[in-house]
Every structure is written in structure tokens, then in C-alpha cells.
Amino acid sequence: MRKIALFFLLAMPFTANAQLSNDDVHKYDHFNQSQYRNEIRIPGFDGYQTLKCDFHIHTVFSDGSVWPSVRVQEAWKEGLDAIAITDHIEYRPHKDIVVSDHNESYNIAKKEGDKLGFMVIKGAEITRSKPLGHLNALFISDANALDVDDPLQAIDIAEAQGAYIIWNHPGWPDNKSTFYPVHGDLIKAGKIDAYEAYNYMESYPLTFDWYAEYGIAPMANTDIHGPIDIDYAYGEGWIRPMTLVFATDRTEAALREALDAKRTLAFFHGTLVGDKEYLSKLVGASLETREVGERLEVTNISDITYKMTKGDDLYIFPAGKTVLIKAPKGTLDVENCFWGNGKKLQYRF
């Protein structure tokens, strides 16, 4: 018995919680998967690091089915750097069972975040029909104050708290990504800062031009309601939708500064959408090159596979792998990087 116990001790020296008990009870705490974090490798550039974020998450405190602290554990485990808890203000189907105010889901999540050293941003979803639709207010101080009849007043209250406002799922629920006058007015007034080019399992290609047209930051968020690995069918290499933020540091202040500066890309199922320059720099930081005679050795140090074409030639640079190719001349179309609707990034090695 003692020999077996010793084996576990030697085999699992990295598990802080592994311990010998006695001959009656052997503990196998290393089977607890919650202590292993996946690392998503996406390099930074220009002195920025790439923060992997999900700014749209529900819990049982609105219409989700997951407890707030579990949201943090899911995101930590999957390798994210930050999440926002954004329960609906107006739609709380469990409110007779889960009795609380609008701040409680964040408070619970934040406590867990602090334990793990993980950023949790306070938010809420202002929930109305179109034309206004749904908006997430992030970095707020009191979600209860947003519980008012007039949604434009709710936005003003959030703004007064220093909110960062996201226009959620512009193409939902009517399958039309209509840009209404109210959105134009809000953007002009500086009251919409970002929008979801991707939400949950939907993409809104008409919105891919909005960064260039309106100067609002593109995002991909999960809007997750159920457990993350039940709502999304994970396969090998699958990475949940996320917003990449290029920040000077892994802190809430640096994250906010980067968001205000609109340094984001939407990352959804292997495709990136956003500013041409950020796309180009991210691809450049991901692909390291070395000339080998007439050929080019390309090492993709990121977890994003890039596909490029030139005429009939297809070049694939798989995540985490090195390929040796005939050095391409001129610019290539990057098939999974868009700076507008149908507008592929042009990339030159």
C-alpha cells in the first residue's frame, strides 16, 4: 500500500493538493480537472499583449443556467484573461427562486475571480426590442440604477457611471443587421463604443465594415446561457468565440484603456474580423519566417491556423506548426482575416 501511495506522490509532484492520507483512504485530487488551465497562444505586437476576453455572459441571476462562480472557473480553465458578467436587467425568469438585486451575480463572480487572479468586469444587459435592441454596459458601478423604464435613460445612467457600451447581436432576432437612426445618434454621442460582429453561433457579415465606418470596436462574445461545454460542441482545436484586446498589461485599467482605444479583433471559429492594421500585425507576430535557400520556413507560434491564397495556390499555416514552402511572391489573400464584409486581408511575407 505504501508503495502505491509513494508512486502517486512521485508521479504527481506538481499537484499542490495531492497528499497521502493513510492506509484506509487514498485521495486522487489530481483527477480534479478544475485545477488545469488551458493556454491559448496568441502573441501580441507593438508592446501590447493579447488579452482573450468574453464580454457577454449570463448566469442563473437572469436567464442562464449556471452559477456565477462557475462562469469564472469555465473561463479560467479555457485560458481566457477576462470576462464580463452581463445578466439582463429586464429579463429574470428565475427571480422568484434566485432572489437578489442586479449586482449580486457580479459580486459572486468577482470573489471567485479574485481567488484565481482572473479579471471579472461588472456589467449588465439593457434589454429592449428593436430598433434599439440589446446593449451591454460594462465597467458600471451599480447595475440596480439601470432598472428604469426608458432605455435611453438607462444608457445615460450607465454612462454617468463610466460605462463602456456594446451593441449586442445586431442581426438578432429578425435575421437583419439593421443600422437604425437611434444607433447613429448613440454612436455620434459617444454612447456606443463597440458591437458584436459575432454573437453565440451567429455572424453578422454586414457589420464587418462598422469599425471602419463608425469607429466602433468589433467583438465576438459567447452570450453563453448554458454550461459552456454543453452549448458548444468541442472538438480538437476548437476555441470558444472571444474578443482579442491588445493591451499594455493584464490589468483592468489596461484592458479599459485598450477598449477605449478600440484595439480589438473579433475571433470566431478560426476567423478574425476588425482593423486591417491589427490583423496584419497579429498575423506577422504569429508567423515567424526563415529563408531556406529558395524556400521559406514559416513557424506559426499561435493557436490560430491561417489560410492564404494567391490565385490557385493555397497556403496553410497550421497552429503551432512549421511548414516549408516555395517562397510566395507578392501579396496573398488571408482567407480567415476580414477588415470588412468580403474584404480579406492582403499579406506579404
Q: Of 268, 281, 216, which Cα lies nearest the Cα of 241?
A: 268
Give the binding range for Zn ion (CB under 5 A) out of 117-125, 152-160, 174-182, 187-195. 117-125
Instruction: Quote the least distance from Cβ 199 to Zn ion, whole Å.
Output: 8
Q: With respect to Zn ion, which residue has the nearer C-beta, 196 or 275?
A: 196
Q: CB of 57: closest distance to Zn ion in angstroms?
A: 8
- Cell numbers placing 166: 456594446
- Smallest gap from residue 56 Cβ to Zn ion (A): 6
Q: How far is the CB of 133 from Zn ion (least distance, A)?
A: 8
Number of shown-chain residues binding Zn ion (CB under 5 A): 4
Which residues, in sequence order, are CB contacts of 175 under 8 Å at separation 6+?
none
Per DSSP, helices labelled H in 40-126 are: 68-77, 104-116
- Grid coordinates standing for 279? 490583423
Interatomic CA distance for residues 58 and 63, integer angstroms = 7
> How many Cβ atoms from other residues are within 10 Å of residue 325's Cβ?
17
**Positions 263 through 322 that interact with Zn ion (CB under 5 A):** none
Cβ nearer to Zn ion, comparing 222 with 280: 222
Shortest distance, position 257 Cβ to Zn ion, whole Å: 25
CB 121 within 8 A of CB 87: no
Q: Which is nearer to Zn ion, 104 or 223 (CB)?
A: 223
Q: Which residue, among 287, 296, 297, 292, has the nearest Cα to 345 in the 3D structure?
A: 287
When asked if residue 105 is in the footprint of Zn ion (CB under 5 A), the reply is no
* 97, HSE (Cβ side, Cα atoms, 13 Å): 8
Is 168 a binder of Zn ion (CB under 5 A)?
A: yes
Distance CA 93, CA 98 (A): 9
Q: Which stretch binds Zn ion (CB under 5 A): 12-20, 167-175, 261-269, 321-329?
A: 167-175
Indicate the residue among 82 and 166 with the shorter CB distance to Zn ion: 166
**Residue 78 or 125: which CB sits closer to Zn ion?**
125
Site map 128..147 versus Zn ion, x via CB under 5 A: ------x-------------
- Interface mask toward Zn ion for 171-210; x: CB under 5 A: ----------------------------------------
Contacts of 148 (CB under 8 A, 6+ apart): 154, 157
φ and ψ at residue 155, rounded to 5 degrees: -65, -45
> CB-wise, 110 or 169, nearer to Zn ion?
169
Which of residues 128 and 281 has its CB atom nearest to Zn ion in the complex? 128
Shortest distance in whole angstroms from residue 58 CB to Zn ion: 6
Interface with Zn ion includes 223 (CB under 5 A)? Answer: yes
Handedness of CA 217, 220, 221, 223 (dihedral sign): positive
Nearer to Zn ion among residue 124 and residue 298 (C-beta): 124
What lies within 8 Å, CB to CB, of 132 at 6+ separation is 151, 152, 180, 182
Q: Least separation, in Å, of the C-beta of 175 and Zn ion?
A: 15
Q: CA end-to-end span of the chain, whole Å?
A: 60
Q: Which three cell numbers stand for residue 287?
A: 508567423
Q: Which residues in this chain contact Zn ion in the complex, by CB under 5 A? A: 125, 134, 168, 223
